[in-house]
Structure 1
Amino acid sequence: METYGGITYTVNEMNNFETFSYSNPEHRKKVQEIAEHAAKYFDFIILDDFFFTNSKTDNEIKAKGSRSWTQYRDSVLADAGYNLVVAAAKRVNPNVKVIIKYPNWYDHFQGLGFDLNQGPKIFDGVWTGTETRNPDGAQHIQQYEGYNIFRYFDNITLGRNFGGWVDSGGIGMGMDRYVEQLWLTMFAKSPEIALFDYLQLMSVPLLETFRTPWQDKYVTSFRWDEMMQPVKQRDGKLVKPRTIARAAGWSLENIDKFVYKLGKPVGVASYKPYNSLGEDFLQNFLGMIGIPVDMVPEFPADKQVVLLTAQAAADKDILAKIKKQLVKGGDVVITSGLLKAIPEKIAEISELRHAGLALVNEFGQGGTTRDILIPKVMYHTNDAWEVVSAGRPLTNGVNGFPMLLRAGYSKGNLYVMTIPEDFGDLYELPVNILNAFRRTLNKDLNVGLEAPAKVSIFEYDNGTFILESFLDEETMATITVRDGKAVPQDLLTGETLVKDKAPEVRGFWMMRNVSNDSRFTVKMPPHSYRVFTVK
């Protein structure tokens, strides 16, 4: 057994996560004393989620001065991290490694002192909070974030992201929710997982209420009844599982059967400048509609397609970077949120406008859904073209608005992807709209997905990929493969998929939006994954 020192820098967690005041000399002294004390006994120290500050005491207000809270807090935490924690600990123990564990609310870090540009450079490495818990909680985290946040921190730290960190929050939704966090952390190729915490592992019982309804109807990736079978100990004695430790063990034992066969994760490059805000956490919703997002902190100049959300507005040189991508023959997909944020810059490429909001409920061939509030993206006729549209109604209606718009520029294309005002309404969009999004973004990848929302795809550079359904019912998903001769094989069953017949398509306006990729349809049980390789 190896032990680390663990520090949670908080004054009173029960009082709205009351943190230390890093302008208070007494608090600064205590922070340093804690680091020095831990360094006497441990060669590894991990700072838990709370090395941030939400303090707004009179001292803090005075110290902040004319700076924004983000500017002040990032500055004071960088100073405290280096001088009060890392340097202080290393003076006591030159061999100590100080690691920071970052929580799951990454888009808002900078507002409380977690500067992802400078912070990881101060510490000897990071751990990533891949806990997603219940999405109806205060953070509204989508399951896909458990994968996405690890990949993002991996791209930031370049080899110093040591593991994912999961807890049992959200278990009230069923045991599947707990083990999904473990799967996604492993799908992201995390080298280790921290199961927080020992008390939970030993005391949270395997209650029958954690057994989800679909366990009786389908053969799912997590199988409650199989997990509950007695386990043979080393002495031969059979012991009945009692706590969630067995659920974690059972799930990871099954992941072990294939995770080593996966390559390096790849996806649609989404540029998020350091410490940027805008369309908060949108990439996690996009991951839940089958877009394999890979967030990066620098503009990716080597990709055919770059995805930009409103976060990209934080880059003062973003227009030049967009133009360079288009001139070389690449594509840029921007969200309606970025169009709203920088309309004058986008007008340099195409004179588009974010012109308020509209209610829509019909999507042409996709059919109808309930009313959804979307931005109205306006354009000059014949300068930009609607790829897919929506109206209320659209068919035989009186008006319509683009859900995906294309405007040519030099040798490339600028696309505008319309994002509903409530990101959760992405899950209400019909498959034809989701497919248009995916096809447009998928040019750097060999494998694509056509499926309802809440079916995700995870892709790797060696031709392996995973489909995972977060739906409560069984659904069908179609795998699309760009190489016409390649055929997916199920890595768990050995089954080779049979190619679908080419769909019958009539009419010019239909033909222009249909892919020529090979198609393979598979059945997806609820809350389950399937693992494939393309041969």
Structure 2
Amino acid sequence: MLPLRFPPSFRQNTMSRIPALLIVGVLAFSASAAAQTDLWKLAQKHADTHRFSTLFTAQQVTSDLANDNDIDQAIQWCREMGITKVYLETFRTQHWAESETIAHARDRFRKAGFLVSGCVTTTRVGKISTGWNLISCYTAEETQQQTKQIFEFTAGLFDEIMIDDFWFTDCQCDQCEKARAAERVVVDGKTFDVDGDQWSDYRRELMLQVSKNLVLKPAREVNPNVSVIIKYPQWYDNFQERGYDVVRQTQVFDQTWVGTEIRDEFDERWGGRGRTTAYFLQSWVEGLSGRKCGGGWYDTLGTTPATYLSQARQTILGGANESMLFNAGNLRFKDPGRSDAEALRKALPELLQLAKQVRKRQAIGVTMYKPPNSDGENDRRVFEFVGMMGIPFVTTDRFPNDADAAFFSVHALHDADFVKKLAQFLQTKRPVILTDSLAQKIAGDIDLSGKHVSILTFDGRMENAYSLPAKELSMLRDVVLKPLNLSITAPQRTAIYCYSDGSWVVENFNDQRIQVTINGRSQSVEANHWASQWMEQR
């Protein structure tokens, strides 16, 4: 990796700025303490702060909730897990759960004190895509009509419906190709113009109009009280390519959710992602959606108990009000689901306390800018790896004019006025970090020679974010954290979350214990674990 470019020297800031507040010790709950706690009562008590939920897929509704004995066992398991809300799926991969089975399970769960909502997973609906064989061609009338039927059916059973994150298309059939070239979308017999001839242009308009005309409109005609949730996937760099439009769809849907899955980065099938994906994406969608954002959804694929708990923590740290544990069948009957579920059950008291503490505070850090519908090119996935460098970050979908320090990647070029805005930002001498790919693209248009400009060299490999030598990383932190009145010493593969009152959380992704110092206060953090310090608020 080429060296980081940074100012040649910078005095370490060791400010201590909140002497009147008292440090509360690191959150730590033992397994025995969790075992002695009635998690059902505890979860109900904290439900307004953060709620844990789970989902029974359409297939599981049929197989696991078909009689009262099975429902009793499912209710008991949810109570023991501290789960206070369940989602019952009506459709997935051409499987329709029977309305009588759904209604009976819904009523039993409600009678037992649970909140109950519906869910739809739009896999293998109507005509199948020429791409992934789970995905559908929404240009096709048969797909459109079955989509309408699914949501009319579901709205007749529930006042709240979540759409799992298969609500996209990658089809390039002849019918799609002709419509794309003509820059025209036809949905439910109505024609809509498309602004552009790229696949991303066509698919975003297509899925927006299908959402409005074949999901929201028919669902509300059946049930005027229905609230429909769009859940955005984990793969944020590809949203626009497959038809997600996070601005316009967020406007038309009643709520947003987001997939906050974190995989073990060395897993042969699911690895290759950074360990702070959940925090970045949850906080970014929260900022974009405002009060519409309801929560984060994570699963057991490619996880260990450590990575599973990291999903839970980061979903909460990102601001979610609810965590969806996908799915009940995997968590109850399969591995690694059972071990993941047991780890979360033991950690539930500390996670609820974490949510309580986070809710009271304002996060601070270097501001990461990702405009909506932006492609990172060589910088894809960069945010989740930079988040492991022991530098606190916050996120935004708008240019961070008021940020104390900022991080910019190629994604920023989706903002047509970015270079002009950056030039104005640099005139203030506030520190910025740029990726090498972005710096190369704009070097001829803007002066990047200032001492407050640091350029991280990735050479197209995001993993290089945490291979920066310790001395250079320390100097980078000194530069970018000075305006935030923060001084941090920590190794690579560490995530740090800071708050305006001096509180903080540390996640250690290393396989050995580490020592972290924040504003002169040191803390040892066990391997693949976390620690926190909270300032008592008066």
The offset of 1:204, in angstroms, is 2.7
Equivalent residue, structure 2, for 1:153: 285
Is residue 449–residue 457 contact of structure 1 (8 Å, CA) maintained in 2? no
List aligned pairs for 1:30-179, cutoff 5 A: 30-65=146-181, 67-135=197-265, 136=267, 137=269, 140-171=272-303, 174-179=304-309
The offset of 1:528, in angstroms, is 1.2
Equivalent residue, structure 2, for 1:428: 467
User: In 2, distance between residues paired with 1:206 and 1:82?
Assistant: 38
Secondary structure in 1 aligned to 2:505? strand
The offset of 1:444, in angstroms, is 4.4
Q: More displaced, 70-79 or 323-332?
A: 323-332
Deviations 1:441-482 (A, max 9, x none): 224433342222111101123321111101111122232x2x
- Match 1:5 to one of 109, 118, 131: 118
- Match 1:453 to one of 492, 506, 513: 492
User: In 1, distance between residues paired with 2:296 and 2:256?
Assistant: 10
Amino acid at match of 1:264: Q
Equivalent residue, structure 2, for 1:532: 533
- TM-score normalised to structure 1 length: 0.71
The offset of 1:202, in angstroms, is 1.3
The offset of 1:419, in angstroms, is 2.9
Equivalent residue, structure 2, for 1:21: 137
The offset of 1:285, in angstroms, is 0.4
More strand by share: 1
Secondary structure in 1 aligned to 2:116? coil
Residues 332 and 245 from structure 1, CA distance in 2 versus in 1: closer, same or farther, beyond 3 angstroms? Answer: closer
Residues 157 and 258 from structure 1, CA distance in 2 versus in 1: closer, same or farther, beyond 3 angstroms? Answer: closer
The offset of 1:30, in angstroms, is 0.9
The offset of 1:271, in angstroms, is 1.4
The offset of 1:433, in angstroms, is 1.8
Secondary structure in 2 aligned to 1:41? coil
- Runs of 4+ off more than 4 Å: 12-15
Count of equivalent residues: 400
| Correspondence 1:465 to 2:504 | yes
Is residue 8–residue 50 contact of structure 1 (8 Å, CA) maintained in 2? yes
Amino acid at match of 2:285: F
Amino acid at match of 1:77: M
Equivalent residue, structure 1, for 2:425: 325
Equivalent residue, structure 2, for 1:478: 517
User: In 1, distance between residues paired with 2:371 and 2:398?
Assistant: 6
User: In 1, distance between residues paired with 2:169 and 2:402?
Assistant: 38
Equivalent residue, structure 2, for 1:505: none
Secondary structure in 1 aligned to 2:455? strand
Is residue 303–residue 444 contact of structure 1 (8 Å, CA) maintained in 2? no
- Match 2:346 to one of 233, 250, 255: 250
- TM-score normalised to structure 2 length: 0.70
Deviations 1:19-78 (A, max 9, x none): 221111111111111111111111001000100001111111111106111111111011
Secondary structure in 2 aligned to 1:333? strand
Equivalent residue, structure 2, for 1:220: none
- Match 1:199 to one of 289, 312, 329: 329
Is residue 382–residue 462 contact of structure 2 (8 Å, CA) maintained in 1? yes
Q: More displaced, 309-318 or 321-330?
A: 321-330
Secondary structure in 2 aligned to 1:3? strand
The offset of 1:432, in angstroms, is 1.3
Q: More displaced, 127-136 or 462-471?
A: 127-136
Secondary structure in 2 aligned to 1:86? helix
The offset of 1:308, in angstroms, is 1.0
Amino acid at match of 2:178: K
Is residue 313–residue 341 contact of structure 1 (8 Å, CA) maintained in 2? no
Deviations 1:147-177 (A, max 9, x none): 1110000010012111111211123xx3212
Amino acid at match of 1:295: T
| Correspondence 1:293 to 2:393 | yes
User: In 1, distance between residues paired with 2:300 and 2:336?
Assistant: 12
The offset of 1:277, in angstroms, is 1.2
Identity %: 29
The offset of 1:420, in angstroms, is 4.1
Secondary structure in 2 aligned to 1:168? coil
Is residue 369–residue 412 contact of structure 2 (8 Å, CA) maintained in 1? yes
The offset of 1:206, in angstroms, is 7.4
| Correspondence 1:345 to 2:445 | yes
User: In 2, distance between residues paired with 1:521 and 1:111?
Assistant: 45
Deviations 1:258-286 (A, max 9, x none): 44223132321111111111201101101
The offset of 1:341, in angstroms, is 2.2
Deviations 1:240-261 (A, max 9, x none): xx76433222112122344422
User: In 2, distance between residues paired with 1:524 and 1:206?
Assistant: 25
User: In 2, distance between residues paired with 1:168 and 1:185?
Assistant: 15
User: In 1, distance between residues paired with 2:308 and 2:237?
Assistant: 23
Residues 332 and 426 from structure 1, CA distance in 2 versus in 1: closer, same or farther, beyond 3 angstroms? Answer: closer
Deviations 1:327-366 (A, max 9, x none): 34433332211112223322xx24xxxxxxxxxxxxxxxx
Equivalent residue, structure 1, for 2:366: 268
User: In 1, distance between residues paired with 2:207 and 2:252?
Assistant: 11
- The structure with higher relative contact order (CA 8 Å, sep 6+) is 2
Is residue 35–residue 89 contact of structure 1 (8 Å, CA) maintained in 2? yes
Q: More displaced, 47-56 or 249-258?
A: 249-258
Q: Which runs of 5+ in 2 are unaligned?
A: 1-113, 183-196
User: In 2, distance between residues paired with 1:168 and 1:289?
Assistant: 25
Secondary structure in 2 aligned to 1:143? coil
Deviations 1:351-385 (A, max 9, x none): xxxxxxxxxxxxxxxxxxxxxxxxxxxxxxxxx4x
